[in-house]
Amino acid sequence: MAAKTQDLEAPALPLNEAAYLPGVAYDEMFAPGGAVRPHYDPLHARMSTLGGAELAGRQQTLERSFLLQGITFTVYGGGETTTERIIPTDLFPRIIPAQEWAKIEAGLTQRLLALNLFLADIYGEQQILMDGVVPRELVLGAPSYRREMQHIFVPHKAYANVCGSDLIRCQDGQFAVLEDNLRVPSGVSYMLANRDAAKRTFPGTYRAAGVRPVERYPDLLLATLKSMSPEWRPNPQVVVLTPGVYNSAYYEHAYLARLMGVPLVEGRDLVVHDNMVYMRTTTGIRRVDVIYRRVDDDYIDPLTFRRNSSLGAAGLFNAYRAGNVVICNAPGTGVADDKAVYAYVPEIIRYYLGEDAILPNIETYLCREPAQLSFVLANLDKLVVKAVGASGGYGMLVGPHASQKERDDFALAIKADPENYIAQPTIQLSTAPCLVDGRIEPRHVDLRPFILSGEKTIVTPGALTRVALKRGSLVVNSSQGGGSKDTWVLAEDHHANGLGGARP
């Protein structure tokens, strides 16, 4: 059917199950029998009517628009070879039915609530450690644990004001949490930019599908940040703190500051005097109340943390301690997204909320436990091993894809420092259709929704879907060549049927 409308020279767009060749993984668009899942019907119909040339043209327009907007990261090659590239962005949205999203939303809200209670506890009375639910040394010995945060009052117990959890859809179609990101999660600007692009690329399909909007994120973020400041500071001055223009997420920092209408500051713009934080303006200095920092804990205050850092402001932490400024996310939140603490999150939820986790964890082996360590060492060819302290796809062994030598080397590293490693079974992330070299092919994807937490907890009805662009690859991190695509959360599921003829 699809072939009739294509240019003769355009590459065939294999949109039937046989040619699309999904692997063993769950596919977002096709059910195992080859039928299109109902919520994908309108998009599938639209994809079939556009020829390869048309799709390639739209893809090009999309990339051009990202380049023009400066949504880029810099590739340094020295001298004139320094170039800027966009993060590869795929044309086709990924669609999530309303009912599935309701579960994700409930699960993430529950999880962040429990993690914030956990943070309040371990930086307060430490009841959970005394009750032996989470090993004391695991928490207090973690490099991301900040004893300086002990007994500091955090409004609404909202330590992680912005959270970006990574979810994956397993082979059985169920979503599971792969990782919590509570420090300075990024990617929300790509979610918003991808949405802009998708609306331009498939306007009719978008309208007909009934997609929930994500555009309110900046004003909800501002409200969340403001809700963290004490009541006696009416109309608080909020700023975004960035490491500067050379940071790979600088675009996002500037974007959020611009859309919230608040200053984008660097450490050198801030001055701390008498435990108050000020910024240096053209008309003198001006008090700052809330800092949405996009700088890691280690760098926010050279007096308290890393001494040689110039990215933060000297004395900032004392001003925070004195209650004169709010830092979001609170320092020390990283201890709750530690890869080893992750294994205990279901227990943490049960401990504080008396409920079972709505979204399951991935089975995780802690190498610090001798029995689990020997299991991991014996099964390196089947497991993914991760260093607890590393992120972004670094310090990681994907057992089934590694050589014997790589596995042997990794085994030595694990034995030398077992506390630093965890292992998980290799999960087949679900696949979604992507435009690759003029063809539509399945690629593995994950899902990063964004959760705001202040006075209220809000899950933005949308997400960044990250894509592993290499065929068969399971690594979606942008630092490892991953891309992204828009994610459509449907308002109501019954919309999905019967709109196969939608046209832009």
Partner 1 sequence: MMLARVADSLYWLGRYIERAEHLSRLSSVMLNATLDQTDSGVQAVWIALSAVGEPDVSSAVGSFEAAEALALDRSDPNSVVSSLARARENARQVRDQITTETWERLNLLYLKVTDENARRDFAEGSTTFLQDIIADLHLFKGAADTTMSHGESWRFMMLGMYLERAQLVSRLLEVCFAETPGRQINDHIALVSLLRMACALEPYLRVYTAEIEPRHILEFLVFDEDFPRSIRFATSQIEANLSVLARRSASEGAGPERIAGRLKARLQFADINELENQGAGALLTSVVNECARIHEAIYETFVAYPLEMRLPA
Q: Which is nearer to partner 1, 234 or 284 (CB)?
A: 284
CB of 244 to partner 1, least distance (A): 8
Q: What DSSP character marks residue 312?
A: S
What angle do helix axes 404-416 and 370-378 make, rounded to 10 degrees?
Answer: 170
Q: Which stretch binds partner 1 (CB under 8 A): 184-192, 249-257, 379-387, 428-436?
A: 249-257
Which of 3, 19, 21, 67 is in the footprint of partner 1 by CB under 8 A? 67
- Point out which span in 107-115, 187-195, 265-273, 331-339 binds partner 1 (CB under 8 A): 265-273
What are the phi and psi torsion angles at 391 (to 5°)? -145, 175
Indicate the residue among 283 and 308 with the shorter CB distance to partner 1. 283
Tell me the C-alpha distance between 10 and 30, whole Å.
Answer: 24
Beta-strand relationship, 396-398 and 383-387: antiparallel
Site mask for partner 1 (CB under 8 A), range 10-49, x = bound: ----------------------------------------
Task: Find the shortest distance in angstroms from Cβ 82 to partner 1.
Answer: 9
Angle between helices 250-260 and 188-201 (to 10 degrees): 80
Q: Between residues 231 and 274, which has the closer beta carbon with respect to partner 1?
A: 274
Pick one of 19, 21, 102, 245: the residue that binds partner 1 (CB under 8 A).
245
Q: Considering only the stretches 100-108, 262-270, 389-397, 451-459, report the one whose residues sit in contact with partner 1 under the rule CB under 8 A.
A: 262-270
Q: How far is the CB of 368 from partner 1 (least distance, A)?
A: 44
The only residue of 14, 38, 135, 263 in contact with partner 1, by rule CB under 8 A: 263
**Could you write out the DSSP letters of every residue in 171-185?**
TTS-EEEEE---SS-
Closer CB to partner 1, 80 or 172, in the complex: 80
Contact range with partner 1 by CB under 8 A, out of 252-260, 416-424, 428-436, 457-465 = 252-260
Considering only CA atoms, which of 380, 431, 425, 387 is closest in space to residue 407?
380
Please tell me the total number of residues recorded for the chain in this structure: 504
Q: 68 vs 322, which CB is nearer to partner 1?
A: 68
**Residues 89-108 within binding reach of partner 1 (CB under 8 A):** none
Q: Binding of partner 1 at residue 264 (CB under 8 A)?
A: yes
Q: For residue 137, is it left (φ>0), alpha (ψ between -120 and 50) or beta?
A: alpha
Choose between 279 and 341: whose C-beta lies nearer to partner 1: 279
| Choices 21-29, 145-153, 259-267, 486-494 (CB under 8 A): range interacting with partner 1 | 259-267
Please give the residues from 268 up to 327 whose contact with partner 1 meets the rule CB under 8 A: 268-269, 271, 273-274, 278-286
Name the residue nearer to partner 1 (CB basis): 136 or 268: 268
The least distance separating partner 1 from the CB of residue 438, rounded to whole angstroms, comes to 24
Residue 86 or 429: which CB sits closer to partner 1?
A: 86
Shortest Å, Cβ 162 to partner 1:
18
- Counting Cβ atoms within 10 Å, is residue 383 exposed (0-12), middle (13-18) or buried (19+)? buried
The most distant pair of C-alpha atoms in the chain lies apart, rounded to whole Å, by 74
Residue 384: helix, strand or coil by DSSP? Answer: strand
> Which residues make Cβ contacts (< 8 Å) with residue 277, sequence separation at least 6?
270, 271, 287, 288, 291, 313, 316, 319, 324, 325
Q: How far apart are CA 58 and CA 63, in angstroms?
A: 9
The answer to whether residue 257 forms part of the interface with partner 1 (CB under 8 A) is yes
Angstrom distance (rounded) from CA 238 to CA 215: 20
Question: CB atoms < 10 A from the CB of 271, how many?
Answer: 15
Q: Can residue 406 be called a binding residue for partner 1 (CB under 8 A)?
A: no
Beta bridge partners of 467: 445, 483
Q: Which is nearer to partner 1, 97 or 236 (CB)?
A: 236
Report which of 501, 465, 502, 489 is spatially closest to residue 211, judged by C-alpha positions: 489
Exactly one of 53, 129, 133, 254 binds partner 1 (CB under 8 A); that residue is 254
d(CA 371, CA 229): 47
Closest to partner 1 by CB, 240 vs 345, is 240
Looking at the Cβ atoms of 148 and 269, the one nearer to partner 1 is: 269
The minimum distance between CB 283 and partner 1, in angstroms, equals 5
62, 96, 184, 265: residue in contact with partner 1 (rule CB under 8 A): 265
Nearer to partner 1 among residue 283 and residue 403 (C-beta): 283
Cβ neighbours of 197 (radius 10 Å): 24
Contact 422, 340 (CB under 8 A): yes
250 binds partner 1 (CB under 8 A): yes
Instruction: Please name the amino acid found at residue 236.
Output: P
The yes or no reply on residue 68 touching partner 1 (CB under 8 A) is yes
Q: Smallest distance from the beta carbon of 83 to partner 1, in angstroms?
A: 8
Please give the size of the binding site for partner 1, defined by CB under 8 A: 30
DSSP 5: G
The DSSP-derived string for 59-97 is HHHHHHHHHHHT-EEEE--SGGG-EEEEPPEEEEEEEE-
Rule CB under 8 A: say whether 80 interacts with partner 1: yes
Beta carbon nearer to partner 1, 319 or 349: 319
How far, rounded to the nearest angstrom, does the alpha carbon of residue 19 sit from its chain's CA centroid? Answer: 32
> Which residues of the chain form contacts with partner 1 (CB under 8 A)?
67-70, 80, 245, 250-251, 254-255, 257-258, 263-266, 268-269, 271, 273-274, 278-286
